Structure 1
Amino acid sequence: MQVTYWLEHAWLDTHVEPGVAVEVDAGRITSVVTDVPAPPRGATALRGLTLPGLANAHSHAFHRALRSTVQVGSGTFWTWRDVMYGVSARLTPESYHALARAVYAEMALAGITAVGEFHYLHHGPGGTPYDDPNAMGDALIAAAADAGIRITLLDTAYLASGLIDKRRGAAPNKHQLRFSDGTAQAWAERASLLKDGEHTRIGAAIHSVRAVPAAQLSTVAEWAEARQAPLHVHLSEQTAENDACRAAHGCTPTRLLADHGVLGPRTTGVHNTHLTAGDISLIGTTATGTCMCPTTERDLADGIGPAVQLQHAGSPLSLGSDSHAVIDILEESRAMELNERLRTRTRGHWTAAALLRAATADGHAAIGWGDAGTIEPGALADLTTIALDTVRTAGPVSRLGAETAVFAASAADVRHTVVGGRQIVRDGVHTLVPDVPQALARSIATLHA
C-alpha cells in the first residue's frame, strides 16, 4: 500500500524540520522530503511533532492488572510479587488475549509501535501444559496484531524459585509451576515452535540467575545465538539476588552470566540496578544493552541503576514500562534523567536527543527491530505524533523539539500513531480498539472477581 504522510513538524534525529513529506510503500519509508509547506494532494496530515515510533523494550502485559491495586499500605518487591502471583493464577489463554489486546492498545495510544514482551506465563494451573504448548504466547502475539503494534515475544526460561548451590536451583513454588518447562532443554524445544511473522519476532529471555540454574544458562544463550535473536535477562534488580548469587557461586550475577556466555551485543540486561564497577565494565565491554524501567523501579522501591556509567562503558540504553505502573515511554525517558539529577544533584546527564534515541532507535534495536526507530528511507514506517497545542506542550517547538517531547509531553499528548504505514491512532482514538478504557476495565475486573 502506497501512502503519503505530511508531518507538520518532524524530529529527524538531530533537529526539528517543519513541513516534511514521507512517502510509504509496503510498510517502509521510501522517501523523506523536507521544506514542504503544505500537505501534498492526497497526503494524510499529521499535525504536531512527529517522532519515530516509540519502543517499549520491557513489558509484562498481565502486570497491568495490578495498577493501583498494589498501592495499599507499604511493602517490598517481594510482597508485591505475592499479589502478582494471585493475578497470574487466574489467567487463561482467552482472558490473557483480552487483557493484552487492551494493554497493547493502551501502548498504541501512548505512541508505542513495538513492544518487547518478557513472557513467562506458559502453562496452565499447576504447570499442566495446554494442548497448544504455546497457547499463552500465541494469545499475546494475536493481541498485538489486534492492537496493530509489533511484538517481540521474549519467551522466558523460568525453572527455579531460587538459588541453592552451584548445581541446583530450588524447585518452583506452586505459583511458579505455570512458568516452568522443567529444564532449559524442554524450554528450548517449546520455544522453537514459535515463528517470526510480519509483525512478530521471537526472542529469548532468562528470567534471572535465581530462576535459571547456572548449568542451564548456556542452553538459553545458545538457542538465541543460533537464531541471531535478542536475549534479555532481569539483572541485579534486587540486592537479595546479588547476595544469593554470591553465596551460591562466589560471584555477582553479571559475572555468572558472563562466564556462561550470556552477555553480548544481542543481550539486554533489564534494570541493571545494583552493580559493581566490575559488573559495569563487563556489561560495557561486551556491548550488552541496558533496559531501564524508571517508573517501575521507583514504584517498587528498587533503586536507581547506574545508567550513565553503563552508557559510558559501552552499553546501549533502552526503556521499558515493565509492570505498567504507567504506560508512557516519554515519562520513562524523562525519569531516567531526573533520577540522576536527584542522585547527583547536577543536571544534564543526557541531552533530550539522546533520551529520544533510547526511546526509539536503540529501543527497537534491543528487541530485534533494528530497521525501525528512524524517519529515513528504508526504515519501517512507524511514526508517533505529539500534539503541540496542549497545556503541556505549547511552546517554541521549532527550537526545542526534543526537549518538548521529553520534558514537557506525556502519553496523553499523543495524537497519532502509525505502524507500517497504517494509522492505528487518529486524533487520539484507537482505530482498531475504540473502547480501550472499557476493554481494560472488563479484563481487569475478571481477574479480581
Structure 2
Amino acid sequence: MTTYWLEHAWLDTYVEPGVMVEVSEGGRITAVRKGVELCPPGAVALRGLTLPGLSNAHSHAFHRALRSTVQVGSGTFWTWREVMYGVAHRLTPDSYYALARAVYAEMALAGITSVGEFHYVHHAPGGTPYAHPNAMGEALIAAASDAGIRLTLLDTAYLSSGFGAAPNSHQLRFSDGTAEAWAERVSALRDSALVRHGAAIHSVRAVPAAELSTVAAWAQDREAPLHVHLSEQTAENDACQAAHGCTPTQLLADNGVLGPRTTGVHNTHLTDADIKLLGSSATGTCMCPTTERDLADGIGPAVGLQRAGSPLSLGSDSHAVIDLFEEARAMELNERLRSRTRGHWTAAALLRAASADGHAALGWSEAGTIEPGALADLTTIALDTVRTAGPVPILGAETAVFAATGADVRHTIVGGRQVVRDGVHTTIPDTAKALATSIGALHA
C-alpha cells in the first residue's frame, strides 16, 4: 500500500486541507482521511492543490508535429489538412511510437492521466497493411504505457474521401476498405490495466451511411466508447444535405450511432433539432476549444448541448497546446465572447468536464474523483507560482481553471504510481528533447 498526504485536496465541491489518501497495490484508493495537518512518516507529500487526474478526451498524437509549423500565412481547415496529410504520410510504427511517447509524456507533465487517441493512421502509405495489421495502434499502446498514462485507443473507421467517394492518395493508409474489414482488424486488440479499446467513426464524410451501423454495432456489442467528428465544418453539413437530405446528426441518429456511450467531437455547427437529438439520446460532446479557434472552426453551442442533456468533455485534439486548464477556461471564455455575458459554468463544472466526465467518455468511469474505490489518478498544481499565488484554499476550482496552466503541475499520479514528480517525468526526464528529436525526424 502507498500513502499520499495531500496538502490541499479538491473533493468534488470544496477544498479540504490535510487529506491522507491510501492506495492499494492494484492502484485504487482504499481510504480518504481528512484533518491530517502534517505529513506523517512514510507518506509521500503532495504539496499544493491536488485534483482528480485530468482526462484528454480527444487526441491525434501525430498532430503535435504540426505545432507552430502551420502558423505561416492564411488559410482554412482544408488548407491545414493538406499539411497534416504530409506528416501522416511520413509516419512509421517506429517514428509514431517515438513521437507519441513524447506527446503522452507532455500530457502527463500537464496533469493528464487518461487520453482518448482518435487513431486512423492504420496502414503503410498506399494502404498496404503491415505484417502485423495493428502495428500503428500497438505503437500508440506502447507509447502510452512507457509514458505512464491511461489510453483509450479509439480505433477509427475511415473508408471514404467524402460520401462514398474512394479514398484519395493520402487517405489510403487510413482505410480498411469496408467496415467489416475494419471490425475484423480491431477485434484483435486486447484491453490491459492501462489500456481500453473503443471505436470511432471519423465523420459522416468518411464512413458511408450504409456502414455506420456496423461500427456502432461493434461498439455496442462490447459496451465500448464510440466517438465521431461531428459538424466541425459547415462544408460537411452542406455535403450531407446534398447526399442524404439531412444533417450529419440526423444521419447518425437514423443509423443507430447516437447514445450514452457515444461522444460527438466538436459538435460546432448544429441546428436546434440536432441539439435536441444529441441531448435526448444522452450523446456526449467533446469540445476542443484551442484547436477549434486555431483552425478557425467556430464556437460550438456547448451551453445549449449541456442543457439539452449532452455531457461535456474536453480534448486538445491537434495539440496547438496541451493544457486541459486552458481548454476548460476557453470553453467559458468563448461563450462569454459570443454571448457578452459571464458565468455560463461554475469552475467546478468546468473542472468536472476536464476530469470525471472526460474519463467517463473514454470508458474509465471509475476515475475522476478522490474517494474510496476510485482509480488513484491525481494531479497536483503548485500554489506558489506567479499564476496561482492567492487565496487558493478558498478558491480551489477557480484557481485551477482560471489561473493555473499545465506548467503549474508538480505531480501526476496514475494508478497510485508517480509519473511526474516535482515537475519532472519520472521515466522520460528530458521530455523536451524527446519531442524535439521525434518531431525533427518527421520534418527531416
Q: Give the TM-score band, short-chain normalised.
A: over 0.9
**What is the TM-score of this pair, normalised by structure 2?**
1.00
1:5 corresponds to 2:8: no
Match of 2:85 in 1: 85
Q: 1:267 aligns with which of 262, 267, 274?
A: 262
Deviation at 1:125, TM superposition (A): 1.0
1:211 corresponds to 2:210: no
Q: Tell me, in whole angstroms, the C-alpha distance in 2 between the residues paired with 1:67 and 1:127.
A: 26
Q: Tell me, in whole angstroms, the C-alpha distance in 2 between the residues paired with 1:51 and 1:392.
A: 17
Q: 2:17 is aligned with what amino acid? A: P
Match of 1:69 in 2: 69
Match of 2:395 in 1: 400
1:429 corresponds to 2:427: no
Q: Tell me, in whole angstroms, the C-alpha distance in 2 between the residues paired with 1:69 and 1:397.
A: 37
Match of 1:373 in 2: 368
Deviation at 1:326, TM superposition (A): 0.2
Match of 2:221 in 1: 226
1:148 corresponds to 2:148: yes
Deviation at 1:158, TM superposition (A): 0.1
1:446 corresponds to 2:441: yes
Deviation at 1:174, TM superposition (A): 0.3
Secondary structure of the residue aligned to 2:90 is coil
Match of 1:307 in 2: 302
Match of 1:24 in 2: 23
Superposed CA offset, 1:128-155 (max 9, x none): 1000000000000000000000000000
Q: 2:299 is aligned with what amino acid? A: I
Match of 1:293 in 2: 288
Q: Tell me, in whole angstroms, the C-alpha distance in 1 between the residues paired with 2:75 and 2:162.
A: 20
Q: Tell me, in whole angstroms, the C-alpha distance in 2 between the residues paired with 1:14 and 1:247.
A: 47
Identity among equivalent positions (%) equals 82
Deviation at 1:291, TM superposition (A): 0.1
Q: Tell me, in whole angstroms, the C-alpha distance in 2 between the residues paired with 1:103 and 1:131.
A: 26
Q: Tell me, in whole angstroms, the C-alpha distance in 1 between the residues paired with 2:237 and 2:62.
A: 26
Q: Tell me, in whole angstroms, the C-alpha distance in 1 between the residues paired with 2:270 and 2:204.
A: 14
Q: Tell me, in whole angstroms, the C-alpha distance in 2 between the residues paired with 1:397 and 1:92.
A: 45
1:249 corresponds to 2:244: yes
**What is the TM-score of this pair, normalised by structure 1?**
0.98
Q: Runs in 1 of length 4+ with deviation above 3 angstroms?
A: none
Gaps of 5+ in 2: none
Say what the alpha-carbon RMSD is for the aligned residues: 0.3
Deviation at 1:5, TM superposition (A): 0.3
Q: 1:304 is aligned with what amino acid? A: I
Superposed CA offset, 1:74-106 (max 9, x none): 100000000000000000000000000000000
Q: Tell me, in whole angstroms, the C-alpha distance in 1 between the residues paired with 2:16 and 2:97.
A: 40
Q: 1:197 aligns with which of 192, 204, 207?
A: 192
Match of 1:166 in 2: none
Q: Tell me, in whole angstroms, the C-alpha distance in 2 between the residues paired with 1:361 and 1:446.
A: 36
Q: Tell me, in whole angstroms, the C-alpha distance in 1 between the residues paired with 2:190 and 2:324.
A: 28
Pairwise mapping of residues 334-349 of structure 1 onto structure 2 (< 5 A)?
334-349=329-344
Q: 1:343 is aligned with what amino acid? A: R
Q: Tell me, in whole angstroms, the C-alpha distance in 2 between the residues paired with 1:439 and 1:173.
A: 32
Q: 2:412 is aligned with what amino acid? A: T
Deviation at 1:445, TM superposition (A): 0.6
Deviation at 1:398, TM superposition (A): 1.4
Q: 1:274 is aligned with what amino acid? A: H
Q: Tell me, in whole angstroms, the C-alpha distance in 2 between the residues paired with 1:13 and 1:130.
A: 46
Deviation at 1:347, TM superposition (A): 0.2
Deviation at 1:40, TM superposition (A): 1.6
Gaps of 5+ in 1: 164-168
Secondary structure of the residue aligned to 1:20 is strand
Secondary structure of the residue aligned to 1:125 is coil
Secondary structure of the residue aligned to 1:162 is coil
Pairwise mapping of residues 345-360 of structure 1 onto structure 2 (< 5 A)?
345-360=340-355
1:317 corresponds to 2:312: yes
1:276 corresponds to 2:274: no
Aligned residues: 443
Q: Tell me, in whole angstroms, the C-alpha distance in 2 between the residues paired with 1:435 and 1:334.
A: 28
Superposed CA offset, 1:306-364 (max 9, x none): 00000000000000000000000010000000000000000000000000000110000
